[in-house]
Chain A
Amino acid sequence: MSDTTTAPAASVAPESTEAVLSVDNLKMHFPVKGSGVIRRTVGHVKAVDGVSFEVARGSALGLVGESGCGKSTTGRMVTRLYKPTEGSINFEGTDIANYSGRQLHPMRREIQMIFQDPSTSLNPRHTVGSIIGAPLRIHNMVPKNKVLSRVQELLEIVGLNPEHYNRYPHEFSGGQRQRIGIARALTLQPKLLVADEPVSALDVSIQAQVINLLQDLQKEFDISFLFIAHDLAIVRHFCPEVAVMYLGKIVEIGDRESIYERAHHPYTQALLSAVPDVKQAAIGGRRERIRLEGDVPSPINPPSGCHFRTRCAIAKDICSVVEPPLLQIGKKHKVACHFPGEIHQHPEKPITAPLLGVDEFGAPDPGASPAEVPGDGPGYADTWYDLANNSRGRA
């Protein structure tokens, strides 16, 4: 409380991990057009509604959440397949959120994408050689007569037979096709790879092959990953940092241990408890889990206050009135909940109320003085809100 130092800039990270990508308050609102001749805009789908995160160099950030929570849209904005409605995407210090097509052209070398379904993201009428060679030709990376040898080199890197450059995608199995997609993404030696569900279309035994390949490539070429997936076990294995999204917002973000061992958001806890576990076989029966009723609400008309309150077991009055801010509660741990706490240990009173200047039912409290919320912005601050003492903590 007595902390008077100014909030440090987001880039001052405790360790010497420098962020390759820093996304601040990114929003993507798709217009909904009415019927009729004029097709007036009648509303917006708030697919992504203000997310902020950082991806450290050579590291990986996992984005998890149910379908429709905006994780793929976020990935597509980072690769600038979509133009964000608002917010900034700082890639190596330059904001590419509003770049034009011409300005983006050189940036495409740096940020590449791996798609979910390898059979629909490869052109069936092109040979593998021309698919993987296309980026080389477009960006004039190598002389024309050297394209083939580079393609073969890439095929070898991803573990395919270099002799197969003149085969067509349908001649490969699913796992091999995903390797072609990875080879294409690697062609331009990108610094950041956005992997959108890279293994969810593959069989379990092949999934492990592809994950291992991605890890090897990450080490060898020092690539940073934005790893989008809904399989929590895979994300835990691959990503040192994880962000959990719900209905266009990040509800919890932190390093692996914080999210998987000490999740403080009821949604993260529900997600984790829903993952079926092989070890359950030894015990028999079903694991005890937090049941989430119903479906994700529509992003056209999200619930007021906290988006998750309609399915939340611990929701109280304040949740429908005030939206919880993303509050930093640990060195590398932020959570957006009025009652953050480990499972069955959620506090009775909304700890966010004094910070926001409201009483515990969400009504404005004239006596309170709204404080600055620690953890606002893409990175992690070196001061945070200490849940144990209800005061500011420090590294």
Chain B
Amino acid sequence: MTDLSKTPETTPARDGAFLSVQDLKVHFSTSDGIVKATDGLTFELERGKTLGIVGESGSGKSVSSSAIMGLHRGTNAILSGQIMLDGVDLLKVSNEDMRRRRGRDVAMIFQDPLSAMHPYYTVGNQIMEAYQVHNDVSKKEARTRAIEMLERVGIPQPDRRVDDYPHQFSGGMRQRAMIAMGLINNPSLLIADEPTTALDVTVQAQILDLLQDLQRDFDAAIIIITHDLGVVAEMADDVLVMYAGRAVEYGPCKEILTNPEMPYTWGLLSSVPDLTASTEAKLIPIRGNPPSLLNPPPGCAFEPRCDHVAKVGGDLCRTTLPDLTPAHSGGNHTKRCHIKNADEVYEAEILPEIAPDLVED
């Protein structure tokens, strides 16, 4: 890869994806041993596209994205790998440089806007600060810009609400104010960490519409972290399914959700009820609990919970970690599983369970 000097701003943008994460590892050293929260994550994202990251709590979704924001600096996290944003390796830039990029190039929307916003400052104050840090403008200009942004995200009477405190906003409005704060500097990469999990469906739909409109206007790349496959289906171009710190399936959204080839993705799809499925059918949960990242299983991390181990035969699943290999559907679809004929298993066993109406014969 390009050799990066101390002043990465001058490095010309290299060919390839706008954001490219290569073999990212985030390890935390604890008194019980090393927690491998993210262990070798690779993905790419173009401008104007959306990547959905799906997985259970503790699968390393948030840890990976905070690494892109540089939020692990100053903690005892051990990072390795490469995060190339527009030709610059974000893991190599200085703290001062990262601070300048944070908010301007990369912005983040957090899950819980009540705890992510400072209760002691007005909403307007916090949005203005985000703007003033990166732009040499007067307070008055910043305020005008903050009001403009609040209006853009659909806060009624923005000139009055700008002086409200976060607790005076409703949940949906707080989330919108967070989005206004994140987008005020027109970042080229927006990371939305569970942006709608705490919200009602109607408000969720509004926020998702808003994100898509803004993406169109600013041509931003969006990473949306969620555990709601429905949100992913409607928003994402690419999907990355994470389990125990690793990508277990990665590819175009349509392929992943219509032809998944990894038992964990099957489990996720079959454990959520939808609005049209038969109500007589039982939900099929994934048994057991996610593994401890202190002491992950030696082979496939999903093996203790997997119902399809017998299809591989021998001890392979328990002893050997499968590689991320191209899936049967081809294209950029990759999966981390030993099962040879995963596409046939999906059609024969999984599809009849989750969508009997789609099975043709």
Contact = CB atoms under 8 A, between A and B. Distances in A.
B203 interface: yes
A211 B283 contact: yes
B289 A275 contact: no
Contact of A284 (B172, B205, B231, B254): B254
A209 B290 CA distance: 13
Interface of A: 66-68, 173-176, 203-209, 211-212, 215, 230, 232-234, 236-237, 256, 260, 270-272, 274-282, 284-287, 289, 291-296
Contact of A286 (B172, B204, B234, B285): B234
Contacts of A256: 279
B233 A281 contact: yes
Contacts of B201: 66, 230, 232, 271, 274-275
22 contacts: A66-B200, A176-B289, A203-B57, A204-B228, A205-B267, A207-B271, A208-B285, A208-B286, A211-B283, A212-B283, A233-B272, A234-B273, A236-B273, A275-B201, A275-B230, A276-B230, A276-B231, A277-B230, A277-B275, A279-B355, A286-B234, A292-B202
Contacts of B289: 173, 175-176, 206
A182 B85 CA distance: 47
Interface in B211-236: 212, 227-235
A282 B173 CA distance: 32
Contacts, number: 135
A342 B282 CA distance: 29
Contacts of B235: 286
A203 B227 contact: yes
Contact of B258 (A68, A208, A281): A281
A208 B233 contact: no
B269 to A, nearest CB: 7
A278 B274 CA distance: 8
Contact of B271 (A204, A272, A280): A204
A176 B156 CA distance: 42
A60 to B, nearest CB: 11
Contact of B272 (A204, A260, A274, A292): A204
Interface string B138-175: 00000000000000000010000000000000111100
User: DSSP majority for the B interface?
Assistant: helix
Interface of B: 56-57, 156, 170-173, 200-206, 208-209, 212, 227-235, 253-254, 256-258, 267-269, 271-277, 279, 282-287, 289, 355
Closest 5 CB pairs of A and B: A276-B230, A208-B285, A281-B257, A208-B271, A237-B273
B171 A278 contact: no
A144 B289 CA distance: 34
A66 B205 CA distance: 13
Nearest to B277: A237
B234 A280 contact: yes
A292 B204 CA distance: 11
B284 A270 contact: no
Given A233-B273, A276-B230, A295-B170, A205 B212 contact: no
Contact of B233 (A232, A236, A278, A289): A278
Nearest to B204: A274
A271 B287 CA distance: 31
Given A175-B289, A280-B233, A281-B258, A215 B282 contact: yes
Given A211-B283, A233-B274, A278-B233, 11 more contacts: A204-B56, A204-B229, A237-B279, A271-B202, A274-B201, A277-B233, A277-B274, A278-B274, A279-B274, A282-B258, A291-B209
A281 B230 CA distance: 8
Contacts of B231: 276
Most chain-B Cβ atoms within 10 A of its Cβ — which of A277, A285, A293? A277
B173 A295 contact: yes
Contacts of A209: 285, 287
A116 to B, nearest CB: 12
B285 A205 contact: yes
Contacts of B267: 205
Nearest to B170: A295
B283 A236 contact: no
Nearest to A175: B289
B233 A279 contact: yes
A296 B201 CA distance: 13
Nearest to A287: B234
